[in-house]
Structure 1
Amino acid sequence: MTRDSRPSFWVHAAGGNVLSYAVMVRELSPGIDIYGIQARGLEDGQEVLTDLVQMATCYVEAVREVQPDGPYTLVGWSFGGMVAVEMAAQFRASGDEVSELVLIDTGTRDAAPGQMDLTDPGFLAGLAQFLAQSVAHQLGPAIFAALPAEARVAHFIQTAVEAGALPPTFTEDELSRILTVYAGCNDAYRAYEPAVLAVRTTLIRAEQNTDPDPRLGWAPPEGGELRVIDAPGTHVTVMHEAHVRAYARQLSDVLARATS
């Protein structure tokens, strides 16, 4: 943390880890301090949380260990944005200020994914978009469909590791833990009634999001601002490098203002 600014705190998406923000971090302006919040359950011996309010409470405590007092800046993509909304509500309820809430294509009506099947070519291809963006074009449904079902996960990991998209030591067990966290996050999302926006909010909306509402179901906070930044891509590809570059400067300006 620099002496002249506060950090921003980035909440994991449904997969639980914060690797999805790696491209974003590289594209943001220098001097913006970032802390990633990883889900419980990715490490051995950790219990997976399946209640979004409990999850947010846990993360609020973790944030306070880094920054004891507000104002706070919270960022989240997809499911991470919904957790950030609840965190903002909890901070406000305890008397702390939240200077900015940034939601990256998080809507109030996002559909939770269906069955997670590691033998299904379509599911594996979608997983590649989240975990191995740089080689997703090499891991399409047709590629997996041409392989025996029992060889598909190994091919996924080998291709991603060889391209540097996943760590060299990444294993099938780690992938299994990610999916367990993913399932827990989806359970948490389905059971959660979104909190009302109560702080200044920036919504980065993927231009190919199918929700006809440009605010993705959110109402502006009372007496506050809900700013929408249109970004190229789908809900998933809005986080890919070529698309991140299109809005990274605007996001950098938002974060610099909020954390200064």
Structure 2
Amino acid sequence: MSRPDTAPGPAGPPRRPPPPRPLLSALRPAAGPAGPAVRPVVAVHPGALPASAWADLADRLPEDTAPYLCDLGTVTEYVTAALDPAAPVIGVRELAARCLAELTAAGLTERPFALVGWSFGGVVGYEIAARLDAEGRAGTLRELVVLDSIAPVAAFQRPDDALEPAMLLDWFAMYLGARRGHRLVTGSAATRDLDALLDAAVAQGVLPAGTEPAGLRKLYTAFHAGLVRNNRCTAGYLPAPLDRTVTVVKPERSLLPASPDLGWSELSGRPVRLRHVPGDHYTMLGEPETGAALAALLTAPLQPVSPRPGG
């Protein structure tokens, strides 16, 4: 029986869930009225880290650019697929179609724009480019840049149970260091298992002494679920090469350090443009050198493209 002073009061109006965040948003307020002289720059964000990771790049872009963000973390089906392995997965093509629909509705495809995708966002960015090319709007996309994105080619497609544990722990160490704002240096011993990784994180001051293994395991489980979700999103997605240059930005500590261009030479009908920057997969955007290099790439004067021989 409830005590009188804890009895529920009169029922109020039902609480409504907060409105969903828009898929497309501005990375910074417009410096002036939109017009043909304003150059849009669109970033495709995979959602693993906060969208604020793009703040440094947005600050470095000239005033005559308008930076926007397509945040995949706002897509309900994409988020749900990481929380529930049994949930239907949303594929690369559908994610790209939604992003392109938002860009078109906002008028950003009415003039040449630059597109940059980070990690899985680079794969979605490539499919956006493919759709523009297929629709005869190839000239709309002035630059395609991928940030440590693994190309969707057969050599890199693996079933979930074939993902190497040591590789995943190394990726998790980078992610953990980025979350804690302190680089975590690992070796073969530290990526043996989560207990060894925890010892290394405590020894290097990334995690405080006394951190419970269960807490780290919970974070790793969520991280791993996101990787598996992205793996499911790209399963069977093997696009044809595009007749355009793909710029690959690769950090010192890349997801696949042994792969020179992460497989993008198979999907770029022209020579891949490779740029090396400091940092790792998760900290690269916070490196001043990366921000400066990206700002230069994304705002370079549009060069006329010579036809390919025999084209």
Using structure 2 for the length normalisation, give the TM-score: 0.59
The answer to whether the 8 Å contact 1:27/1:245 transfers is no
Task: Tell me if structure 2 keeps the 8 A contact 1:12–1:77.
Answer: yes
Change in Cα spacing, 1:29 to 1:60, as seen in structure 2 (3 Å) is: same
Is 1:189 the counterpart of 2:234 in the alignment?
Answer: yes
CA distance in 1, matches of 2:280, 2:215: 29
1:207 counterpart SS class: strand
The percentage of aligned residue pairs carrying the same residue is 21
Match of 1:6 among 17, 29, 39: 39
Partner residue in 1 for 2:211: 147
Alignment of structure 1 residues 40-189 onto 2, 5 Å: 49-66=89-106, 67-96=108-137, 97=139, 98-108=141-151, 125-129=173-177, 132=179, 134=181, 141-142=198-199, 143=202, 146-152=210-216, 183-189=228-234
Residues 44-93 of structure 1 deviation map (CA, whole Å, 9 limit, x = unaligned):
99865531111111111111112242433211111111111111001111
- Taking the aligned partners of 1:45 and 1:102, their CA distance within structure 2 comes to 22
| Cα deviation code 1:156-207 (max 9, x no counterpart) | 8xxxxxxxxxxxxxxxxxx96x886654323113432244243233221223
Q: Unmatched 5+ residue regions in structure 1?
A: 157-174
Contact 1:24/1:248 (<8 A) preserved: yes
TM superposition shift of 1:255 = 1.4
SS in structure 2 opposite 1:257?
coil
* Alignment-mate amino acid for residue 128 of structure 1: L
Q: Secondary structure at the match of 2:234?
A: helix
| Partner SS for 2:53 | helix
Q: Are residues 46 and 232 of structure 1, via their aligned partners in 2, closer, same or farther at CA, if it must alter by over 3 Å?
A: closer
Higher RCO (CA-CA < 8 Å; seq separation 6+):
1
Matched to 1:134, the amino acid is: G
Question: Following the alignment from structure 1 to structure 2, what is the Cα–Cα distance between the partners of residues 45 and 257?
Answer: 33
1:203 aligns with 2:243: no
Give the conservation status (yes or no) of the 8 Å contact 1:75–1:84.
Answer: yes
Query: Cα RMSD (Å) of the superposition?
Result: 4.0
Q: Please say which of residues 75-84 and 143-152 is displaced more in the overlay.
A: 143-152
* Partner Cα distance (1:39, 1:61) in 2: 14
User: Retained in 2: the 8 A contact 1:11–1:80?
Assistant: yes
Give the drift of 1:40.
5.3
Residue 58 of structure 1 aligns to a residue whose secondary structure is helix
Matched, 1:233 2:279: yes
Q: Is the 8 A contact 1:12 1:80 kept in 2?
A: yes
Displacement of 1:35 in angstroms is: 0.8
Q: Given that residues 205 and 229 in structure 1 are in contact (C-alpha distance below 8 angstroms), is that contact kept between their aligned partners in structure 2? A: yes
Name the CA distance, whole Å, in 2 between partners of 1:201 and 1:27: 22
**Aligned residues between the structures:** 231
In the superposition, relative to structure 1, how do residues 95 and 133 fare at CA in structure 2: closer, same or farther (>3 Å)? farther
Alpha-carbon separation, structure 2, partners of 1:189 and 1:179:
16
Change (3 A) 1:194 1:20: farther
Does the Cα contact within 8 Å between 1:14 and 1:79 map onto a contact in 2?
A: no
Distance in 1, Cα, partners of 2:75 & 2:49 = 7
Structure 2: 5+ residue stretches without partners: 1-29, 82-88, 185-196, 304-311
Whole-angstrom distance in 2 between the partners of 1:195 and 1:16: 30
- What letter matches 1:52 in structure 2? V
Larger deviation, residues 71-80 vs 40-49:
40-49
Residue 169 of structure 1 is matched in structure 2 by none
SS in 1 for 2:144: strand
More divergent stretch after superposition (58-67 vs 41-50): 41-50
2:261 aligns to what? Answer: 215
1:110-168 deviation line (CA, Å, top 9, x unaligned): 6888599xxxx9887544345x263566xx733468433455589x8xxxxxxxxxxxx
AA of the residue aligned to 1:206? P
Query: 2:52 maps to which residue?
Result: 19
Partner of 1:165: none
Q: Which residue of 1 aligns with 2:67?
A: 34
| Secondary structure in 2 matching 1:106 | coil
